[in-house]
Amino acid sequence: MMNTLALFAIIFVLNSLPAFAPPTWMVLSAVGLSNPDANPWLTALVAATAATAGRLTLAKLAFIIVRQRWLSARTKENIDLVKDRLGTQRAMTFGVFLVYTISPLPSNSLFIAYGLTSLPLTPVAVAAFIGRFVTYSFWMVIAVEVANKVVLDQGSIFAYFGGYFVVTQVFLLVLVVLFAKLDWRAWFASKTLRLISRTETSHQH
């Protein structure tokens, strides 16, 4: 079986990338299908730890590089409106991250958006770890069981899911841009959907 440290390193790097890295469940499925004797629970634990660390790194990089260097003062102020709301709804934020990380959707865009808010990472780290451990345990158990009972064409399966992965990545990255550019003041005030203007000056309180 793949060395534990190597598995951790691979999954950490994949989850630190902002887009178009192969999803971790696909890596784990390949591990399980090619290693019927693998311990699914230990593998899922290592993978969940690495994936969580990678996503936290991604969120931190989104703050340091994107927010600090690339975003305009107006865009930062706009995102801070979301930050203020999320800061008062920590239980909801925890729940959203937990449910999302259990789902099959890629989470890189979610962590990039969260990183742009500069909110504390610990609550979402706990939620992400729990969600990923549940998800990865499921994939590993299924993969190991299938490897012991059925002969599959792994190439066809991964090709199908690969197409799904690319489409969702593009869609979710577009949502990150909309997250930064949606006029949150207008939305919170009257549920009006509009984008902030490039020439709009900083709101004066």
Residues 15, 60 contacting (CB under 8 angstroms): no
Which residue type occupies 47?
Answer: A
How many angstroms separate the most distant Cα atoms in the chain?
66
Share of the chain above pLDDT 90, in %: 48
Distance CA 121, CA 107 (A): 14
Residue range 186-205: mean pLDDT, rounded: 70
Residue by residue, DSSP assigns 167-204 as HHHHHHHHHHHHHHHB-HHHHHHH----BPPTTPPPPP
Place of tokens 């949502």: 175
- Alpha-helical (H) ranges within the chain are 4-16, 24-34, 40-61, 73-87, 90-102, 108-117, 122-149, 154-181, 184-190
Please count the other Cβ atoms lying within 10 Å of the Cβ belonging to residue 125: 17
Residues 31, 140 contacting (CB under 8 angstroms): yes
pLDDT digits (tens, 9 = 90+) for 94-133: 999 999 999 877 899 999 999 999 999 999 999 999 999 9
State phi, psi for 182 to the nearest 5 degrees: -65, 135
Local confidence band at 147 (pLDDT 50, 70, 90 cut-offs):
confident
Residues 160, 50 contacting (CB under 8 angstroms): no
pLDDT digits (tens, 9 = 90+) for 27-50: 888 888 888 888 999 999 999 999
Mean pLDDT across the chain, nearest whole number? 85
Residues 183, 198 contacting (CB under 8 angstroms): no
